[in-house]
Amino acid sequence: MKTVHIDVAVIGAGTAGLAAYRAAKAGGASALIIEGGAHGTTCARVGCMPSKLLIAAAEAAHHAGHTDMFGVHVDGDIRVDGREVMARVRSERDRFVGFVVRGVDGIPAKDKLAGYARFVDNTTLQVDNHTIVQARRVVIATGSSPSLPAPFTAFGDRLIVNDDVFDWETLPESVAVFGPGVIGLELGQALSRLGVRVRVFGVGGGVGPLSDPAVRAYAREALSAQFYLDPDAKVLEMGVVDGRARIRFVALDGEETTDNFDYVLAATGRTPNVRGLGLENTSLKLDARGVPLFDARTMQCGDSPVFIAGDANNILPLLHEAADEGRTAGANAAVYPDVGAGLRRSTIAVVFSDPQMMMVGSRFADLADGEFVIGAVSFEDQGRSRVMGVNSGLLHVYADKASGRFLGAEMIGPRAENLAHLLAWSHQQQLTVERMLDMPFYHPVIEEGLRTALRDAAAKLEQK
């Protein structure tokens, strides 16, 4: 077994790990990136990019079948070729992964080590049975994996996670989805639009990441009109019969129902990849999930020379957050113990359902009752939305009663991904509602709906 001495050892070559490695090198430290699995980030391989490829196909099918309102009639049936759909998903997915792999290939060979790392102590790692890494500092960037609740083992080989979907060669006839969060809604709706019979089951009434009761209720109604969605399902029995998944449940009409599916997609969250790292051999304090306690500003674990970034810490499992956290962790590892706070941008989250959902800044659930006003707009009669036939949606913006400052927003509606960016920039600049209303709005655009919501908030601020 050979021994390697290095300033910074980075465990994981995903988005956070690659950012940490580059930041450590930029900070003048020697760095080694350790990866035991296939190269290619979660986003490129099994996350944001392949899911958007599937959604793009679903949108094409949906729009082709919904042109009558414009006086445009498509003669004949819309035919979805499952093999062609999945061939493009896999091909383009592999292309995106290739970009990441080429980036890793560009890292000098002396800075890469293949294998699974395990802590011997705070700064000593054993990589498989071939290398001991003596580091001065360590960055944990091991990502996350889909979590599978124990009862789902009843589905045997009919149980899949989102990672499996993107390796399909064709589309199945039916899929049950457990978990109406971001992944469950995006994939469930896309599969439904591509002709797959889909039922989506949830627990507790949640829809996507929304916490505002009115916006969440609107989302539930809007999406339920398109595919079977029960965010608070009562499932009575799960199993496999004759090679198919069988679920007995209480349907939305109150009747007990039994249905069979080709697959059951578990979209029930993700778990940080920290098991097997040997963290019990370190002095790090761990939370109930076994994740090291850390400072979200510096990414440092306690006062130790260990840092954690990206999905491994499970704060905000988003690509841009992982990149920012990786840069902070790597930069601080390079100069430890003189660590400092890294960049923390205003929170922005988007769900690529149809209608889309978004959240910016503080969620409704995070705000103190009585200390803010809500500016609202429905997109049902909003001009440009009606022109395009996408007039379904509700936006709530939140403003501080005392200062008038914009605090956050939640929305389901058209072009939410674009409005989210405008609002996130406004939030990061700590603009007031009044200042936001001074900004230009063109006509006719969907952004005029945002102006309506801001005007509503401004009027309520005057009445406080």
List, in order of start, the domains of the chain with CATH numbers.
Answer: 2-145+271-335 (3.50.50.60), 150-268 (3.50.50.60), 348-463 (3.30.390.30)
Q: Which of 100, 135, 125 is nearest to 322 (CA)?
A: 100
Q: Which of 386, 382, 391 is nearest to 452 (CA)?
A: 382
Element (H, E) at 273: none
Q: Which of 318, 388, 394, 382 is nearest to 355 (CA)?
A: 394
Contact at 8 Å (CB) between 306 and 284? yes
CB count, 10 Å around CB of 209?
Answer: 17
Rounded to two decimals, what is the model's pTM? Answer: 0.93
The Cα–Cα gap between 324 and 305 comes to 19
CB count, 10 Å around CB of 380?
Answer: 12
Q: Is the dihedral of CA 353, 354, 358, 364 positive or negative?
A: negative
Q: Which amino acid appears at position 232 of this protein?
A: D
Buried b (16+ CB within 10 A) or exposed e, 42-57: bbbbbbbbbbbbbbeb
The Cα–Cα gap between 459 and 449 comes to 16
For 311: left if phi > 0, alpha if psi spans -120 to 50, otherwise beta; the answer is: alpha
Coil, strand or helix: which one is 427?
A: helix
Q: Which residues pair with 247 in a beta bridge?
A: 238, 259
Those residues of the chain that have pLDDT short of 50 are none
For residue 320, the model assigns a pLDDT of 86
For residue 319, the model assigns a pLDDT of 79
For residue 317, the model assigns a pLDDT of 73
For residue 96, the model assigns a pLDDT of 87
For residue 99, the model assigns a pLDDT of 84
* Structure token digits, residue 167: 């390796």
* Structure token digits, residue 162: 């989102």
For residue 241, the model assigns a pLDDT of 97
Token look-up 């009445």 returns 463
Range list of β-strands (E), 267-405:
270-272, 306-308, 348-351, 356-361, 372-378, 394-400
For 280: left if phi > 0, alpha if psi spans -120 to 50, otherwise beta; the answer is: alpha
Instruction: Dump pLDDT digits (tens) for 378-427.
Output: 999 999 999 999 999 999 999 999 999 999 999 999 999 999 999 999 99
For residue 362, the model assigns a pLDDT of 97
